[in-house]
């Protein structure tokens, strides 16, 4: 094992694996090696227990009940919001909105903020490496307003071209949308610098943090971004729950996204008045259990040494890159200087789907395809990649197993 694979002081991924029930199984007669974390992470028992406890003991609707269960549910639900405020260092609970995930968070901003400020001739800048969820909502908003979505170029190494970005930033740009970390390439974007440059040009900034929050601390005030979106299921919480952070001054100006219960103060056929933040954007019965379980995921992450966790994941990535350099016929896709989470590659002469199938037969879970990032795949002239993506419970032995599996797949396919 290389020096990059040395144990990280204060962090033992092997010990943490026992916290995750789904990892304690065999797939196709082999111990599960789960390397599809950029798609969704496995859940620790504490998160599963939090969800189960809510439905077993506290299940009730929130905010309006006049009984004990509703009081307990409301307290747990709003305590979860407070934990998220602390987790990302928002200014107050007014700035943290519950959504179904990153996709809905971005759609909320595109539908409410963008459509209310855009006019004909305005521009939205979106990096060329984005997930479709950070492209399509802006296209819909732009089409409705006569605005234009303009891609920020990406280099052949998979890095955003900052000089080209600076040139694009003119008075026409009203909003910049960029991922904190690329789900397809693993590129970590310089989002603080991107934000500073946008603000100097008078533009607002939304950061897609779906792939950022699981891997390192996020401080929205330090970033000074206007919006930050992320999903629970990428950070060891359940699916169907997510967060939109927005600066209070912007959220106050924005019209409601959905109409219904909870987001109103008064309703009559003569007119309706809307609730205060954050409830103005939370129509209907929310995913209460999901929020409670997301808080448990925050607790789980916060109990770890996040610096050591980041160092462990960086060492995993370096180890994978070292082994890739020694593997004939393997081509990395995305070679940015700073990468987190995702290791994308191709085997010469082999379709990614075939590689994924043969790895699955060996109990190794990866993802294949375009990863909902067709524009960057088109730029690279490829249909997709094989993507191994890492989480806190992955080990160097997992990477050894991946490359052993690739060697077997290569023998079979070539």
**Residues 330-380 pLDDT 10s:** 999 999 999 999 999 999 989 999 999 999 999 999 999 999 999 999 999
**Residues 267-286 pLDDT 10s:** 999 999 999 999 999 999 99
Q: Look at the chain and report how many structural domains it folds into.
A: 2
372 is catalytic: yes
Please determine, for residue 3, whether its predicted confidence score (pLDDT) is greater than 50: no
**Residues 211-226 pLDDT 10s:** 999 999 999 999 999 9
Instruction: Examine the domain organization and report whether 193 and 87 are in the same domain.
Output: yes
pLDDT of residue 370: 96
Helical (H) or strand (E) element with 343: strand 342-347
Does 61 map to a domain? yes
CA distance 148 to 3: 48
Instruction: Examine the domain organization and report whether 258 and 296 are in the same domain.
Output: yes
> Average pLDDT, whole number, for the chain?
95
Last residue of a domain, one of 302, 326, 352: 302
CA distance 186 to 212: 10
Q: Is 286 helix (H, G, I), strand (E, B) or coil?
A: coil
Instruction: Examine the domain organization and report whether 102 and 187 are in the same domain.
Output: yes
Instruction: Examine the domain organization and report whether 150 and 14 are in the same domain.
Output: no
pLDDT of residue 1: 34
Instruction: Examine the domain organization and report whether 228 and 366 are in the same domain.
Output: no
Q: Provide the strand spans (E) within 42-131.
A: 96-99, 123-127
Instruction: Examine the domain organization and report whether 73 and 196 are in the same domain.
Output: yes
Q: What is the mean pLDDT of residues 233-239?
A: 98
Strand partners, 126: 151, 177
pLDDT of residue 6: 44
Last residue of a domain, one of 274, 302, 330: 302
Sheet containing 173-179, strands listed edge to edge, beginning at the edge strand earlier in sequence:
96-99, 242-246, 227-231, 204-208, 173-179, 123-127, 148-152
Of 145, 225, 335, 372, the active-site residue reads 372
Predicted TM-score (pTM) of this structure: 0.96
* Res. 8 pLDDT band, cuts 50 70 90: low
**Residues 196-212 pLDDT 10s:** 999 999 999 999 999 99
Does 115 map to a domain? yes
The token pair that represents 331 in the structure block = 């081509």
Instruction: Examine the domain organization and report whether 123 and 20 are in the same domain.
Output: no
**Residues 108-137 pLDDT 10s:** 999 999 999 999 999 999 999 999 999 999
163 CB-contact burial (10 Å; exposed 0-12 / middle 13-18 / buried 19+)? exposed
Tell me the residue range of the domain where 249 lies: 48-302
Instruction: Examine the domain organization and report whether 223 and 324 are in the same domain.
Output: no
């Amino acid at each position: 094992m290389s020096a990059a694979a040395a144990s990280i002081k204060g962090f033992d991924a092997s010990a943490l694996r026992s916290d995750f029930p789904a990892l304690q199984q065999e797939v196709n007669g082999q111990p599960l090696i789960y390397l599809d974390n950029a798609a969704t992470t496995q859940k620790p028992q504490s998160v599963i227990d939090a969800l189960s406890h809510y439905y077993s003991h506290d299940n009730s609707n929130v905010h309006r009940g006049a009984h004990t269960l509703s009081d307990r549910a409301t307290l747990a639900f709003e305590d979860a919001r407070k934990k998220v405020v602390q987790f990302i260092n928002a200014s107050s609970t007014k700035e943290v909105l519950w959504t179904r995930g990153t996709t809905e968070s971005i759609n909320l901003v595109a539908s409410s903020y963008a459509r209310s400020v855009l006019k004909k001739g305005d521009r939205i800048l979106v990096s060329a490496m984005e997930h479709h969820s950070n492209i399509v909502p802006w296209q819909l908003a732009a089409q409705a307003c006569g605005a234009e979505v303009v891609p920020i170029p990406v280099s052949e190494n998979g890095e955003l071209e900052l000089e080209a970005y600076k040139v694009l930033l003119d008075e026409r740009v009203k909003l910049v949308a960029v991922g904190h970390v690329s789900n397809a390439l693993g590129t970590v974007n310089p989002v603080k610098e991107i934000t500073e440059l946008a603000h100097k040009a008078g533009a607002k900034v939304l950061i897609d943090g779906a792939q950022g929050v699981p891997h390192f601390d996020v401080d929205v005030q330090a970033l000074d971004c206007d919006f930050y979106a992320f999903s629970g299921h990428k950070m060891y919480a359940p699916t169907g729950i997510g967060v939109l952070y927005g600066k209070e001054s912007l959220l106050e100006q924005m019209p409601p996204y959905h109409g219904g219960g909870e987001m109103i103060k008064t309703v009559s056929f003569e007119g309706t008045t809307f609730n205060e933040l954050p409830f103005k954007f939370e129509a209907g019965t929310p995913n209460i259990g999901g929020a409670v379980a997301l808080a448990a995921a925050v607790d789980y992450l916060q109990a770890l040494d996040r610096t050591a966790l980041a160092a462990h994941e960086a060492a995993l990535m370096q180890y994978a890159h070292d082994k890739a350099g020694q593997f004939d016929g393997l081509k990395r896709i995305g070679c940015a200087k700073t990468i987190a989470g995702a290791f994308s590659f191709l085997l010469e002469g082999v379709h990614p789907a075939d590689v994924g199938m043969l790895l699955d037969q060996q109990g190794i879970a990866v993802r294949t395809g375009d990863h909902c990032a067709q524009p960057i795949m088109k730029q690279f002239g490829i249909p997709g990649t094989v993507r191994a993506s890492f989480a806190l419970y992955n080990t160097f032995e997992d990477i050894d197993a991946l490359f052993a599996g690739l060697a077997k797949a290569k023998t079979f396919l070539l």
